[in-house]
Structure 1
Amino acid sequence: MFNSSLSVSEFVLHCEIKPEQINITATLLILIYLVSLIGNLLVILIIIMNHQLQSPMYIYICTLAMIDLANSTILIPKMVSAVLFDSLVVAYAACLAQMYLILNVELMESLLLMSMAIDRYIAVIFPLRYPSIVTSKAVCIGVTLLAISAFLIDIYCIMFVSELSFCETNILPYCFCDYATMVHIACTEDPKYLLVLSTIVITTGVLPLAIILFSYFIIALAALRTSSVEGKRKLFSTCLTHLLVVGLFYIPLLTSYILPGAGVKLSTEAYNAMVIVGNVVPPMTNPIIYSFRNKEIKSSIYKLFSGKRTSPKINNQ
């Protein structure tokens, strides 16, 4: 317990997991991390090594793999430590750094998924103009602006957290450092601290999700107008698999941020589950959905491990 005159120099992470579930939870997290690590590193390596895969679509895929790799690395090792040792003391600065980085990669992934949906929209609705509209240079500039935007937006959370005082407790009842939780345990009831979170979530989470859903809705309508049965099947398959990833990322994370931002305190189990699903599952599934189903990437992986030369035909559509 802390007196209001004392400053907090560290936080204590506390995962409320039943003793009989500790080993299986830690094992599952480690397995998920290894799959995410290997899958995303392989995607990044393949795209960097193969100069034929330097087109806009593969720049997006490579960027997504980098974000997912960072997301898993920032979150899972700390969670495993907290689960195995029940509680984990984290320095104040380190806790803020983890909080900021998690928010940063989540925001970047949200904006990137929106950009990828718009890319597919242009490719399907304006196929003849696609090569002139979506160039590798334009995508690189867009990805750079995306990273800068995420960095600047999330700075507000750091500024607001630095204003908080913690007079009652320094225990965060989760397996990671989290902005909303810090606000809830702080000695303040000023709504501005949760309002900034709600504002960021709406502008960088809800709005991108709406644009993604709209883009895929238009793509689905275009698929219905396609005379080719194979073309319809391919478009619908792409839409459904991409929307699955979008749902796994957005739904749990938006719920976990919007409700606390509105002042609703979630149970430890519910909050941990939503954050784990939103941050841990997509980095594991994204390489499968966006990369390993792609003929050019599969061909490059075969070439890498077999030593045989292949000359995949690159298709940006």
Structure 2
Amino acid sequence: LSLFRFMKMNNATISVSEFILQCAIESNQKTVTICVLSFIYCLSMFGNLLVIVIIILNPQLHAPMYICIGTLAVIDLANGSILIPKMLSVLLLGSPVVPYAACVLQMFLFLHEMESLLLALMAFDRYIAVVYPLQYPLAITNKKVVISLLVLNIFAICFKLHIPVFASELSFCHTNILPFCFCDYTTLVQVSCTDDPKYLIPMITGAVVYGVSPLILILLSYSRIAIEALRVTSAGGKSKVFSTCVTHLLVVGLFHIPLAFFYILPGAGVTITRETYNVIFILGNAVPSMLNPIIYSFRNQEINKSIHKLFIRRRSTHIRRK
């Protein structure tokens, strides 16, 4: 098995044209892993596509909150398609080779940063809706939400422009094997033989800008919402607000906690098997893509009504044709 395809060699430094993804999954667990990933991917695609279609078709759902939910569904759809099919091909077909350009492209297209910023925007939306309900219609409009999403997208893309530039500068002395089922910039830097600290700066900056900062904003928003909920006199209103908080925080926890462990544990010197890291990464990326439509959307009465009407209408049309 050829591990390297040489482009050029200078002393012990090797420029490679491809990487090997080494999915550290025990052979007796591969079948279960493949079945779980396939289930997650199918359910994620169905759920997120359904949410997108429902929001597009129903004019009543063309509101700020639903625009955010639809955008989250698009991001989850994209992230699932970027990650899971390649994981399945590695495990199922035994094709771990990834061209250099494709590996860098996967790292660039993965919308982890955008999802983190979007969750913070959604938390801010709920904060205004609960704490300043009278000002909400003027403070949060469709136009403002769309502009905010565009700005966040541009900001995230500009921040990620370093990935193809820095990745092209990395040199590899010993191996082109990436010990996970996916291409990740942090892993790429770790397996390279480049010690320049400038390649670590984007990782640290990204953790602060897209990890810590949005999480702090989210926690502050929901803490303020919880305080406001305690002041609500009606039991029904209080229950509704707390239900919203718990629902949104569950999504945030599913997204942030596994990824925090994925990046923090190696820096803390904690030794964990590669298989465990693969599982943590899947939990932090694949599972939220599957659960977000259920947690955010299918618990929403308006979306549920729209789904019900869509399927009832199609069923009625089908019966009439018969």
Question: Is the pair's TM-score, using the shorter chain for normalization, greater than 0.5?
Answer: yes
Which of 191, 200, 222 is the matching residue for 2:197? 191
Q: Please tell me the root mean square deviation across aligned C-alpha atoms, in Å.
A: 1.8
1:281 equivalent in structure 2 = 287
1:140 equivalent in structure 2 = 146
3-state SS of the aligned residue for 2:14? Answer: coil
Q: What are the superposed Cα offsets for residues 139-198 of structure 1, whole Å, 9 maximum, x if unpaired? A: 000111111111111112222211101121111111011111111110122232223201
Q: Distance in 2 between matches of 1:262 and 1:191?
A: 18
1:314 equivalent in structure 2 = none
Matched, 1:224 2:230: yes
Q: Distance in 2 between matches of 1:266 and 1:120?
A: 38
1:267 equivalent in structure 2 = 273
Change (3 A) 1:277 1:21: same
| 1:79-118 correspondence runs (5 A) | 79-86=87-94, 88-102=96-110, 105-118=111-124
Q: Say which is worse superposed, 262-271 or 249-258, in terms of deviation.
A: 262-271
1:6 equivalent in structure 2 = 14
3-state SS of the aligned residue for 1:307? Answer: helix
Q: What are the superposed Cα offsets for residues 173-228 of structure 1, whole Å, 9 maximum, x if unpaired? A: 11011111111110122232223201111111111000000100010011111001
1:32 equivalent in structure 2 = 40
2:128 equivalent in structure 1 = 122
The one-letter amino acid paired with 1:249 is: F
Q: Is the 8 A contact 1:198 1:257 kept in 2?
A: no
Q: Is the 8 A contact 1:40 1:68 kept in 2?
A: yes
1:262 shift after superposition: 7.1
Residue identity (%): 58
Q: Is the 8 A contact 1:121 1:219 kept in 2?
A: yes
Q: Distance in 2 between matches of 1:265 and 1:97?
A: 29
Q: Which sections of structure 1, spanning at least 5 residues, go unmatched? A: 310-317
Q: Is the 8 A contact 1:14 1:87 kept in 2?
A: no
2:162 equivalent in structure 1 = 156
Say which one has the larger Rg. 2
Q: Say which is worse superposed, 201-210 or 261-270, in terms of deviation.
A: 261-270
TM-score (norm 2): 0.91
1:101 shift after superposition: 1.5
1:268 shift after superposition: 1.0
Aligned length: 307
Q: What are the superposed Cα offsets for residues 268-287 of structure 1, whole Å, 9 maximum, x if unpaired? A: 12321221011011111111
TM-score (norm 1): 0.92
1:84 shift after superposition: 2.0
Matched, 1:58 2:66: yes
Change (3 A) 1:98 1:308: closer
1:76 equivalent in structure 2 = 84
3-state SS of the aligned residue for 2:96? Answer: strand
